[in-house]
Amino acid sequence: MTEKSKRSTTPLTIASVVSLLILVIAAMALRDRNISQALFTSVLGLSVTLGLLSIAGFVETLMKPALGFESFRWGLVSALAFVGYLSRVDAVNDINAVFHIDAAALPLTTIAATVLRFATYMQWPMGVVFFGSVVVIGFMFWGSVLSDKDDIEKLGLGTRVFAAAVSSGLALLLILTQLDDAGIKAKIYRVAHKADFVSSFNCEKTDPEQFSVLFIGPEQRRVLLAPKIQSDTNFLNERDQPPELMQPVKIPTYFQVMDCSPGAPPSAQ
């Protein structure tokens, strides 16, 4: 490996080491019940993100010759744009399936749903990276990959490949367990309550203690009612529960739409 190549892979090795250390420390803290499941999941997300960035950087170093061709760059951008388009279409359909209204009424939820759907399209790439990393680790174990490298190169490559296997494996596990159709719809419903619904309002005959509302229509005088859901945004809570976004939620099959006439809510009368 040339000196230039070593310098280019050093940040990737550092990111891989940090990713693994964060994961190990968080797992030990969770085992000793020093942190909540919600905080652990957040730290796990940070670890996976660092690992995936390391993977992306390593792939970029391998693809540098191809990236020199403008046609290849256009093809890569077009492929990502196409996946983004499909993700947007799926997100709009998901929102319509949950709330039975135009997704334009929930702009922030649409963005979140698009990201979730984009993640589902990463299932196969993450699977390829995971199984590829496992195969490379197998070859490294038998010595057929590292035989011509010095100790520093062996340590750096081994760390990067192991971090790639762990990060891609965890990402694949999260996609398979959390981002099925039911899971995505539950997350969309929770995100909508946080991002687009209004919890404090003044509509006659509608109690803000029981309902959240979404103002719809060009004049914003009509509302879609949804029962309030339990909210817990405290990452340091001591309850043995997963993060709020991962908790199951009952989605109503019907949402009442009514005119919002200013007036005192029933609880104030």
Q: pLDDT tens digits, residue range 45-57?
A: 888 888 888 888 7
Tell me: do 216 and 84 sit in the same domain.
no
> Do 134 and 259 reside in the same domain of the chain?
no
Q: Is residue 109 part of a domain?
A: yes
Of the candidates 247, 137, 121, 132, the one whose C-alpha atom is nearest the C-alpha of residue 146 is: 137
State the angle between helix axes of 107-120 and 70-99 in degrees (0 to 180), rounded to the nearest 10.
120
The DSSP string of 178-190 is: H-SHHHHHHHHHH
Same domain for 83 and 43: yes
Alpha helices per DSSP H over the chain: 3-31, 37-62, 64-67, 70-99, 107-120, 123-141, 151-178, 181-195
Per the structure, the complete domain to which residue 22 belongs is given by 3-187
**Encoded tokens for 65:** 């010759």
Q: What does the pLDDT read at residue 235?
A: 53
Residues 78, 210 share a domain: no
Residues 161 and 64 in one domain: yes
Give the DSSP letter of residue 241.
-
Measure the CA–CA gap between 12 and 9, rounded to whole angstroms: 5
pLDDT at 237: 57
Residue 224 CA to residue 100 CA, distance in Å, equals 10
Query: Is 244:187 a contact under the CB 8 Å cutoff?
Result: no
In a domain, 193, yes or no: no
Tell whether 192 is covered by a domain.
no
Task: Report, in angstroms and rounded to the nearest whole number, the Rg of the chain calculated over CA atoms.
Answer: 24
Angstrom distances, CA of residue 250 to CA of 109, 169, 189: 18, 30, 9
Span 28-51, mean pLDDT? 83
In tens, the pLDDT along 92-130 reads: 999 999 999 999 999 999 999 999 999 999 999 999 989
Are 37 and 133 part of one and the same domain?
yes
**194, part of any domain:** no
Q: How many domains does the chain have?
A: 2
Mean pLDDT of 84-93: 96
